[in-house]
């Protein structure tokens, strides 16, 4: 799945780009603004908007010499469009719920990399950073079952592999002398999923 545009699993057409751009805003937008948000040409987007207005899925409001467009949230298909627009949010919520259900909670868990930034594609891993507590050995069956189960869930939810960076509490200090790419990404992009926040954890480093 393209985490930046999860709805592309259903279609990669201009129509869905336009609908998701409209669903992501509660403010009426001009055709040019919709095109910018959708990453499509103004001409192509305008054709789509005109057709969606005919179907009643999009409202068109006259504003002087221009028109503003918004998703008709009372339309029967609007909930489907909104769910597509919120797919990335749903992924984060599922990750948090899964980590929260662990019998042995992590010191820290976060989403980072392209999935956190929203700029990946179908070939991108879902990158996760997990700090294992001192009481859980790396070979502990219970702990391994939790981490492996999370990786399997990510694959089932998205079709993407989970790229899991796992360290122990004791290994955190060793990150000082290691290449800083992961730490830099975490500081810049991490979305907390459980345990101590990335800001607090990395601040200690």
Dist. CA 135–CA 117, nearest whole Å: 32
Co-location of 41 and 122 in the same domain:
no
- Residue carrying structure tokens 């391994």: 144
Q: Per-residue pLDDT for 110 more than 90?
A: yes
C-beta of residue 159 within 8 angstroms of C-beta of residue 120: no
Is residue 52, in this structure, part of any structural domain at all? yes
Domain that holds residue 68: 6-84
Mean pLDDT score across all residues of the chain: 86
How many domains is the chain built from?
2
123 lies in a domain? Answer: yes
Q: Which of 53, 84, 115 is where one domain is finished?
A: 84
pLDDT, tens digit (0-9, with 9 covering 90-100), for 29-74: 999 999 998 889 999 999 999 999 999 999 999 988 889 999 999 9
SS3 percent helix, strand, coil of the chain, rounded to 5, is 50, 20, 35
CATH number of domain containing 22: 1.10.10.10
pTM across the whole model: 0.74
- The pLDDT-based confidence of 17 (bands split at 50, 70, 90) is confident
């Amino acid at each position: 799945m393209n985490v930046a545009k999860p709805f592309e699993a259903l279609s990669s057409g201009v129509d869905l780009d336009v609908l998701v751009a409209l669903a992501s805003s509660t403010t009426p937008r001009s055709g040019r603004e919709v095109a910018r948000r959708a990453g499509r040409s103004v001409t192509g987007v305008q054709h789509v908007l005109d057709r969606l207005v005919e179907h009643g899925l999009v409202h068109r409001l006259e504003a002087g010499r221009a028109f503003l467009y918004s998703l008709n949230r009372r339309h029967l298909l609007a909930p489907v469009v909104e769910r597509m627009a919120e797919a990335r949010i749903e992924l984060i919520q599922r990750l948090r719920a899964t980590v929260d259900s662990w019998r042995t909670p992590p010191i820290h868990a976060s989403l980072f990399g392209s999935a956190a930034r929203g700029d990946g594609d179908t070939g991108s891993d879902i990158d996760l950073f997990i700090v294992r507590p001192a009481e859980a050995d790396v070979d502990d069956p219970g702990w391994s079952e939790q981490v492996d189960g999370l990786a399997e869930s990510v694959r089932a939810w998205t079709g993407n592999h989970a790229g899991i960076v796992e360290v122990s509490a004791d290994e955190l200090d060793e990150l000082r002398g290691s290449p800083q790419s992961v730490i830099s990404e975490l500081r810049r992009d991490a979305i907390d999923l459980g345990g101590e926040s990335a800001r607090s954890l990395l601040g200690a480093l």
